[in-house]
Amino acid sequence: MTIQHNGQSYEQADLLPFGHRVNPEVIAAGFMEEIALTVDGEERHLPLFTAAGIERIKGDLNHPMTAEALAPEQSNIDGPTTHIIVDDNGIPNATIDVGQIQDDAMDLAFALAAACGDEPKTEEILAGHIRRHTTHGLPLVLVAAIKHMTNDILAGAFDVMEAATGTKPREKMAEIREAEMPK
């Protein structure tokens, strides 16, 4: 969905997720500005980098410590979970909150499991997550939700089923996949 504001076009993916705001200290420092917009009856915020903000990020990315700080062996799982995504030119084009993605994925997996068999409820749950997440975040939430659904919900259900009935649900799923999927 394209949004028009002051003669500029923005995609819904350019907006912050529902309830998220730009850090007021970043705005006060003159690195970003934020525009409130109403989308589907909900207030969303469009984060925009100022020229000073772009220069600051370019400088940060070119700093010798940046490569070291971003190296996988230096990552800290207890550290910040919000990351800035940059394009090929080093210009920020999105933020991703990994912690929020994991929380939303777990919520999605368990909400879908609780609604299984109720197709209208399932569609309502999925539609809510589609509205809530940007095009950058939605695929990550869906993949993480599938992982949680498989490892945290189906695995346990299959273990109980196998112990209670002696059936082999994993083998049956493999048979169905083999029979149903095009070669």
- Calpha distance 66→87 (Å, rounded): 16
On whether residue 145 sits in a domain, the answer given is yes
Domain co-membership, 64 together with 104: no
- Six token digits for residue 176: 């169905």
Give the model confidence (pLDDT) of 117-172 as tens digits: 999 999 999 988 888 876 767 888 999 999 989 988 998 889 889 889 889 999 99
Q: Is the pLDDT of residue 65 over 60?
A: no
On whether residue 90 sits in a domain, the answer given is no
On whether residue 36 sits in a domain, the answer given is yes
Buried b (16+ CB within 10 A) or exposed e, 23-44: eeebbeeebbeebeeeeeeeeb
On whether residue 64 sits in a domain, the answer given is yes
pTM for this entry: 0.53
On whether residue 92 sits in a domain, the answer given is no
On whether residue 173 sits in a domain, the answer given is yes
What is the number of domains present in the chain?
2
119-132 and 98-114 are packed helices; what angle lies between their axes, rounded to 10 degrees? 170
The predicted pLDDT at position 71 comes to 44
- In this structure, what DSSP letter does residue 50 have? -
- Could you identify the residue written with the tokens 């991703």? 96
Give the model confidence (pLDDT) of 6-34 as tens digits: 777 777 777 777 778 888 777 888 878 88
